[in-house]
Structure 1
Amino acid sequence: MVETARAMASAKMPWLDHYPPNVPATIDVGAVGTLVDMFRDSVRDFAGRPAIESFGVRLSYGQLGGLSDAIASWLQSIGARKGDRIAIMMPNVAAYPPTLFGVLLAGCAVVNVNPLYTPRELAHQLNDSGATVLFVLENFAHTVEQALPSTKLQRVVVVRPGDLLGLKGKIVDIVSRYVKKAVAPFKLPTMTTFAEVVATGKARALQPVAVEPGDVAFLQYTGGTTGVSKGATLLHRNIAANVAQCDAWMRPFMRGDDQIMVTALPLYHIFALTACCMFMCRIGACQLLITNPRDIPGLIKTLKSRPFTCMVMVNTLYNALLNHPDIKTVDFSHMAFSVSGGMATQQAVAKAWKALTGKPIVEGYGLSETSPVVCANPLDLQEFSGTIGYPVPSTEVSIRGPDGQECATGIPGELCIRGPQVMAGYWNRPDETAKVTTPDGFFRSGDIGVLQADGQVRLVDRIKDMVLVSGFNVYPNEVEDVLASHPGVLESAVIGVPDEHSGEAVVAYVVKKDHAVTAEAIRAYCKENLTPYKVPRRIEFVDALPKTNVGKVLRRALRDSVADKAAG
């Protein structure tokens, strides 16, 4: 009977037969607890280990625990109650992790905010979430000043980049303010400094809060590439389950207790939040915080400053590193693995990275709505696979056609996901939640995928990004992958534009690597590698591509630009 059940599960979930040794098929969902439980355990078990490093200064888990308690205590002192939403608008500075855990310890929910938001975008997110307190790095306080009259914020905490870093921190603040002139003038009537928060919190005892697995931990806003921003409601059990899934998938391949994660992606993004901050906390590892990953020379300087064992990045960041001459001076000998997600990893980038570091890029897949990890390649991968790997433990995937029926193996359809990491729904938007939920409880990702016979999933593209040329489907990822392999191309983005003859035409926006390269040469190269209807009708050279905060190319922004020109 048991063997029959296993055979049925294997037929429905073929990936289980191909799992790496020592990786379980499921996690104990009932035992995942809360993020507060996880954090308390780590502070107790790893008190003396380094937890974070910023600008060369390290803080231990014991110090992180004390600071987080102080921030939670301060929140209680101003009347914050369990369930209140507290917003954080910071890049990866030392104050971020204790603020994050402090909010959770107080029983409140974190609202992660992109520091690059405009006042309008900021006001929308604060009002939609109902946030009452905002922690913001002073570099972005002028944006808050402009948005403040349109919000219901009761208190704003202003953080300096050098907070918690001692004497080194004072130097960091001076450079930020007076050398780089990165702090615009601002005036906030409800302002409290981060130093005051910590001092006040340390002076009073924290009142324990009974946090449950079903309580809201994060409102993670999504929609940066597709339109209206919605808050994915992530419960403690969603994130905690995903951390346990990452642990089950990755721990068998990790050697030693001195793991150092290069956290270059912003912690306010779900990828870094779970894969770097939460997972590293669970295993007692150290995060090397990168405040500004767009400063490639600065990032390389940090990579040279000390050995590191792992990193999580996106394709564009790997590509930017590869195209900087100083990357060859970085020592990758201690690096066990490098993970990519957030957008499709291009074959040319993966090949160059393996040649440079000796290690392949291990690609995974996830979304804000899934906490985020859904699929991942094994960490002992020898060569870049070109797939997003296997569904992680306790995760089901289903490829479905427009009629909602499951597609046969090898046939593309919408990737749908079911598992403990899937969100509770969109914040205050039951109608939007219903649109992405199937009758049998799967989350509709909006991505086109193919399930292979061995259970691996190959991602094709976003449904909304697909280009329809004379009835034929063209997937921008495929065209961009070909463009990336051209020696004269640094970056590219492909979209469809209206065409009276073919319905839509393929247009490529290209950032040159070789300034002498011509549109004709690139088109000729595409003709050698693509079916004629996939070849870009037009090549447009640009200085830069529009991107999200983590470097994901915004095809929507390019389509909007085309539409605006047509309307004009």
Structure 2
Amino acid sequence: MSPRIYVSDVPSVSVISESIVTHLLASRPGQPSNFIGRYPDHFPAFVDADTGTTITRAQFKSLVFRFGHGLTTIGAKRGDTLLVFSPNSLAYPIVVCGAIAAGIRCTLANTAYTGRELAHQYHDSGAHLLITTADGLPVVRDMFKSLSISETEGDNRIIVLSDGLSWAEGSASPSRSEIKDLLTMEELLTRGSLSREERFDGELAKSETVFLCYSSGTTGKPKGVETTHRNVVSVINMVEPTFIETAPDKDRMLAILPFYHIFGLVKSLLFTFHIGVATVIQQRFEPVQFCANVEKYKITLALVVPPVLVLLARHEGECLPFQRYSSF
């Protein structure tokens, strides 16, 4: 007896073999010249929840290409690995997509890691350059120490995300002594721009790793999970037909899931850009701030996990209902 094949009611999705950055940013045949991806360049892409600083789709593409070029000026090249050790921020999508545009894969680290835990991922992933915040520097330096890398050599591998948002036409921040003499993202953004992204088409999209996220290490040490360009593009395209209907000019997503996790990265950062919905980025989940941001930004969408729902249900404060959420 032949096996029964169950077929989805949703139409099949074509498998597209191209870079995730190409898929998100490239203009398509027949579209107006002012489109970035599938939507107009003036549509908001990402919003900093704390300040309201907003990056449009056009600004996002420009920043991505500038950061990608900046990485090449310090010796980074196609096939290298960049370790990102940072909480959610407005800079996060710039860093990740900028690296990918330059042909560099990203390994994303849990911000709760100790120096020794971070050292395992840094070494195991083959990373050289590392990007972090001023608050993350003590852990990063402890990591380099555990790997017998001198402070001078370690500092030469660090790129710092400052606290301010002047690079996004937002407010500046006071200079912090701990980042003195270290290379910053702002500096890299001043060095020019890529003329186009590195392409990963056909078999390259199938075989080239773009993200190297790590397991929790429940048994043994955390293990790197390689995700290719075609993996990510396919997931985004498969999710869309089954996702709730959205209106790019009205809906807003509140992102509280950590971007270092594949769920938060793909669904709260890349997928929302793909469907034209602005993502309001909250650094980490905190129930009162979550509810305040729902009200402030008229949030209509949020991706959460069951523990967040339980906490919100039991919390003493009140949260204005928003239209839709998804829990996994």
TM range (shorter): 0.7 to 0.9
In the aligned structure 1, how far is the partner of 2:240 from the partner of 2:223? 29
Shift of 1:326: 2.3
Note the C-alpha offset of 1:208: 4.5
* Distance (whole Å) between structure 2 residues aligned to residue 52 and residue 226 of structure 1: 37
> Which residue of structure 1 lines up, in the alignment, with residue 13 of structure 2?
27
Displacement of 1:275: 1.2
Q: 1:89 aligned to 85, 92, 103, which one?
A: 85
For 1:462-513, what per-residue CA distance to the aligned partner results, in whole angstroms no more than 9, with x for missing partners? Answer: xxxxxxxxxxxxxxxxxxxxxxxxxxxxxxxxxxxxxxxxxxxxxxxxxxxx
What aligned pairs does 1:419-458 form with structure 2 within 5 A after superposition?
A: none
Q: CA deviation at 1:165?
A: 6.6
Does residue 215 of structure 2 align to residue 228 of structure 1? Answer: no
Matched, 1:303 2:288: no
Q: Deviations over 1:58-91 (max 9, x none)?
A: 1101001111101100111112111100111111
Seen in structure 2, the aligned counterparts of structure 1 residues 48 and 186 have a Cα distance that, compared at 3 Å, is: same
How many angstroms apart in 2 are the aligned matches of 1:82 and 1:278?
21
Alpha-carbon separation, structure 2, partners of 1:71 and 1:274: 20
State which of 236, 247, 254 in structure 2 corresponds to 1:262.
254
CA distance in 2, matches of 1:206, 1:297: 43
For 1:80 and 1:47, how far apart are their aligned partners in 2?
A: 29
Aligned residue for 1:242?
Answer: 235
Q: Distance in 1 between matches of 2:64 and 2:58?
A: 10
Q: Any conservation in 2 of the 1:142–1:186 contact (CA below 8 Å)?
A: no
CA distance in 2, matches of 1:204, 1:37: 16
**Count of residue correspondences:** 306
- TM-aligned CA deviation for residue 323 of structure 1: 2.1
**Superposition deviation, residue 49 in structure 1:** 0.5
Offset, 1:47: 1.1
* 1:538 matched residue in structure 2: none
- Cα distance between partner residues in 2 of 1:205 and 1:242: 27
The answer to whether the aligner puts 1:274 opposite 2:260 as a matched pair is no
Pick from 325, 336, 340 the counterpart of residue 327 of structure 2: 340
Distance 1:74-1:269 versus aligned 2 partners, 3 A rule: same
2:160 partner letter: V
Q: Which residue of 1 aligns with 2:161?
A: 159
SS of the equivalent of 1:326 reads: coil
Query: 1:102: which partner in 2?
Result: 98
- The residue aligned with 1:486 is none
The structure with more strand, counted as a fraction of residues: 1
One-letter identity of the residue aligned with 2:20 = L
In structure 1, the partner of 2:198 is 209
What amino acid maps onto 2:61 in structure 1? Answer: G
Bigger Rg, which one: 1
Shift of 1:193: 1.3
For residues 145-156 of structure 1, the aligned pairs below 5 Å read: 145-149=141-145, 150=147, 154-156=156-158
Q: How does the TM-score come out when normalised to structure 2?
A: 0.85
Could you tell me how far 1:192 is from its partner in structure 2? 0.5
Does the Cα contact within 8 Å between 2:217 and 2:223 map onto a contact in 1? no
Instruction: Give the AA of the match of 1:159.
Output: L
Whole-angstrom CA distance in 2 between matches of 1:100 and 1:323: 35
Match of 1:284 in 2: 276
SS state at 1:131 partner: coil
Given that 1:138 and 1:159 are in contact with CA atoms closer than 8 Å, whether structure 2 keeps it comes out as yes
TM-score (norm 1): 0.50
> What is the rounded CA distance, in whole Å, between the counterparts of 1:317 and 1:165 in structure 2?
32
Unmatched runs of 5 consecutive residues or more in structure 1: 1-7, 178-182, 342-568
Aligned match for 2:190, one of 185, 199, 207: 199
Instruction: For residues 257-276 of structure 1, give each alpha carbon's deviation from its aligned partner in whole angstroms, at most 9, with x where no partner exists.
Output: 23311111011111111111
Corresponding residue SS for 1:292: coil
What per-residue deviation string (whole Å, max 9, x for no partner) do you get for residues 245-304 of structure 1? 111222xx31422331111101111111111111111111111101021x3222222122
CA distance in 1, matches of 2:124, 2:292: 40
Contact 1:262 1:290 in 2 (8 A): yes
Query: Which 10-residue stretch deviates more, 216-225 or 277-286?
Result: 216-225
Does the alignment pair 1:134 with 2:130? yes
Aligned AA for 1:51? A
Q: What is the distance in 2 between the residues matched to 1:308 and 1:290? A: 12
Q: Is the 8 A contact 1:261 1:286 kept in 2?
A: yes
Q: Is residue 303–residue 327 contact of structure 2 (8 Å, CA) maintained in 1?
A: yes
2:90 counterpart SS class: coil
SS in 2 for 1:234: strand
Q: Deviations over 1:151-207 (max 9, x none)?
A: 58652111123335767543xx56xx9xxxxx9x85787x2012111122xx35546
Q: Residue type of the partner of 1:263?
A: A
Contact 1:88 1:111 in 2 (8 A): yes
Distance in 2 separating the partners of 1:279 and 1:194: 24
Q: How does 1:112-127 map to 2 (within 5 A)?
A: 112-127=108-123
**Following the alignment from structure 2 to structure 1, what is the Cα–Cα distance between the partners of residues 213 and 54?**
28
Q: 1:317 to 1:192 in 2, by over 3 A?
A: same
Q: Write the distance in 1 (CA, Å) between the matches of 2:122 and 2:25.
A: 29
Change (3 A) 1:33 1:84: same
Cα 1:305/1:112, change in 2 over 3 Å: same
Matched AA of 1:47? D
Q: Aligned letter for 1:301?
A: A
Note closer, same or farther for the CA distance 1:138–1:300 as it changes in structure 2 (3 Å cut): same
Which aligned pairs between 1:404-423 and structure 2 lie closer than 5 A? none
State the alpha-carbon separation in 2 of the partners of residues 118 and 234 from structure 1: 25
Aligned letter for 2:247?
Answer: G
AA aligned opposite 2:226 = T
- Residue 50, structure 1, aligned to residue 52, structure 2: no
Kept in 2, the 8 Å contact 1:94–1:165? The answer is no
Match of 2:318 in 1: 327
Q: What do the CA deviations read for 1:495-538 (whole angstroms, capped 9, x no partner)? A: xxxxxxxxxxxxxxxxxxxxxxxxxxxxxxxxxxxxxxxxxxxx
Change (3 A) 1:242 1:117: same
Corresponding residue SS for 1:199: coil
Sequence identity of aligned pairs in percent?
24
Q: Which portions of structure 1, spanning 4 or more consecutive aligned residues, are displaced by more than 4 angstroms?
A: 151-154, 164-168, 185-189, 204-208
| Residue segments in structure 2 that go unaligned for 5+ positions in a row | 27-34
